[in-house]
Structure 1
């Protein structure tokens, strides 16, 4: 009798662990059945030879000197994308690090929102010429020192992909927004970290300033839409219960 009870309990724990691991894996889909129409409200990248483009170029050239400072090292460390790698970048602002073991629901939630963000910007996030009509990244257009390229930068063809808008800047805003909902007492720190995460793309030389601003705008619009989605609301409530329980330990 006692052995059967123990076996059932052990099986239950294994199923819970498997569910947690599954939740922490990269999601296959986001929350929104129909993405926002990004072209209806997001302006195109600055036109060639425009004042806005000249300002972008000036900021890029000016920020090359920052790479050899502590802020440059921070920018290089921010060159990450998957949830398990981004979480430590927000740990200090949050007061704790999200981990797949302790916070699978929170990480899965963020992963699904990121899927929605990728779908949102897809119509304007085009490959750079000659493969497409997207904006050429500054370090490709002008050369100059950048943050060290990581394996994922080559895997996802950073040099050939379009610069506008910055998905990483959107990612930083999404993390700041979701974590603020989980820990509103840490909001100021988290928002500052999310903004800095996007600015790191400019310092690294991977994006222009207007790319980053557009990425943040896209993320802010997306988060407003997510807040009205019942699936997102339920997932956020579950993630907050999970986070609060972990925080009390």
Structure 2
């Protein structure tokens, strides 16, 4: 029995070291929140709306500054640590393990809810309809509607601001920038961002009724507020 336990422990260590550890489990999936029953369908590829949005993306491509480009590239990461610039220097992965694990599950929830909706609508991204669009982040061919980055950024903003209401205005402004940076990066249309914000708010609201979420939220909140001296 002891030998079996030792082997199991070694196997777990190997998996972790090779990056094959168990992925974060979502709190909800698309069976709990069906975005196809909530959001409208995206504009047609040849519609006046889509053509106007491609023009907006191209205008941004011409007017974005090097600083805007740098922030948009950095915001390609989907994790809560992108909020460090408004949360302060103590907001680090190393000092907040419970918060880190909690938000990994929040991010997994976004994928479990949003990806099936993207696959249903299959809206082509701007660079797929116009070769004039040059994304400054890794190009993607997954569905564009709604923006997954914006969805998770909105979710993270809402949840973080509930944990630290003292910083709510700064946190939500950062969440809005996180979404806007997908247009700056040339990888989404403005309406994708709007739908992502709606999706993020809807999912965040539904999470409030999930017992697992509530338990992990309370533990992560306590850890965060203690770390920030609040």
Matched residue, 1:245: 226
Change over 3 Å in CA distance of 1:246–1:159 after alignment to 2: closer
Q: CA deviation at 1:32?
A: 2.6
Displacement after TM superposition at 1:27 (Å): 4.1
Q: Deviations over 1:158-216 (max 9, x none)?
A: 43222121101112112211211221111000100000101000011000111111111
TM-score with structure 2 setting the length:
0.82
C-alpha RMSD of matched pairs (Å): 2.4
Superposed, 1:135-174 pairs within 5 Å as 135-144=123-132, 146-149=134-137, 153=138, 158-174=139-155
User: In the alignment, does 2:67 pair up with 1:70?
Assistant: yes
Deviation string for 1:81-100 (max 9, x for gaps)?
2x3xx50x211212245323
Q: Deviations over 1:50-107 (max 9, x none)?
A: 33223312211211123344222221221212x3xx50x2112122453232111112
2:100 equivalent in structure 1: 107
Q: Which residue of 1 aligns with 2:217?
A: 236
Runs of 4 or more, structure 1, over 4 Å off, are none
Counterpart for residue 129 of structure 1: none
**Which residue is 1:98 aligned to?**
91
Structure 2: gaps (5+ residues): 1-12
Q: Which residue of 1 aligns with 2:167?
A: 186
Q: Are 1:120 and 2:113 matched, yes or no?
A: yes
Match of 1:209 in 2: 190
Are the structure 2 counterparts of residues 248 and 133 from structure 1 closer, same or farther at C-alpha, using a change threshold of 3 Å? closer
Return the offset for 1:245: 1.5
Aligned residue for 1:122, secondary structure, equals helix
TM-score normalised to structure 1 length: 0.76
Distance 1:221 1:59 in 2: 27
State the Cα distance separating 1:235 from its structure 2 match.
0.9
